[in-house]
Amino acid sequence: MNRRPAAVAFDVNETLFSLDRLARELPDGVLDIWFARVLRDGFALAATGRFRPFRELAATHLRSFIDGAEAERVLGLFGVLEPHGDVRPALERLRDAGVPAVTLTNGHAETTRSMLAASGLADLVADCLSVDDAGLWKPRPEPYHHAARTLGVEPGRLGMVAVHSWDVHGAACAGLVTGYCRRLEGRFVEGFTRPDVTGDTLGGVVEGLLALPA
């Protein structure tokens, strides 16, 4: 049975921050197919042990829908995305419990820092980590293990919280404690390693993680 985590990492895009602002700037339906293709190709690279930065894949695929100057403008909006309403209560609950919260994204740490600062959430996050530091995208095990090493905890004492089934699966395969929030997908995708904790909001997931046996 998995134990109460000593620190909790949160995925960033769609888990903490809404992509609605991007969706509104794009033709109907483009956000979903664009983002699915970026992840598809990032994971294809991960499956072959290769790496390209998120922004490069995001730009390449966005330019198949809109022209280059417009794509640059839309990509610039990543830094000012709005947090979901359940983020602040979840982060405050962890702070009150004395459990550090960090971010771990397939995007870039600097972009995450911008989003947190613009949303007044920076004080609630101990560190912003990115797969850039591991040179391989989630759901490969390396970035999860890199995060655990950076935090000085065993993988089995690090929680990973995401709204993406593939991220929960990757973290579970890497030995982390996992929390899945149903907000985006509605239900966990069959075929992936199931989460230790599931909730409708990030707050519910955090409560579940904190309730695990110490």
- Say how many C-beta atoms besides its own lie within 10 A of residue 89's C-beta: 14
Question: What is the C-alpha separation between 137 and 132, in angstroms, rounded?
Answer: 8
Contact 175, 153 (CB under 8 A): no
Task: Answer yes or no whether residue 141 interacts with a second copy by CB under 8 A.
Answer: yes
* DSSP per-residue letters across 172-194: HHTT-EEEEETTTTSSPPTTSPP
The verdict on 57 binding a second copy (CB under 8 A) reads: yes
DSSP reduced 3-state for 87: helix
Q: Which of 43, 89, 145, 201 binds a second copy (CB under 8 A)?
A: 43
Min dist CB 196 to a second copy, Å, is: 17
DSSP-derived letter for residue 141 is: H
Which of helix, strand or coil describes residue 77? Answer: helix
Token pair 């690090």 in the structure block, residue = 158
Q: Which of 21, 23, 25, 60 binds a second copy (CB under 8 A)?
A: 60
Candidate residues 25, 92, 119, 166; the one interacting with a second copy per rule CB under 8 A: 166
Size of residue set near a second copy by CB under 8 A: 38
Q: Which of 84, 146, 169, 183: binder of a second copy (CB under 8 A)?
A: 169
Query: Is residue 27 a contact residue for a second copy (CB under 8 A)?
Result: no
Supply the minimum distance, in Å, between the C-beta of residue 84 and a second copy.
20
Beta strands of the chain (E only): which ranges? 7-10, 101-105, 127-130, 158-162, 177-181, 197-199
Site for a second copy in 170-209 (CB under 8 A): 170, 173, 185-186, 189-193
| List 17, 61, 74, 128, residue binding a second copy (CB under 8 A) | 61
Name the residues that contact a second copy, by CB under 8 A.
29, 32-33, 36-37, 39-41, 43-50, 52, 56-57, 60-61, 64, 137, 139-141, 165-166, 169-170, 173, 185-186, 189-193
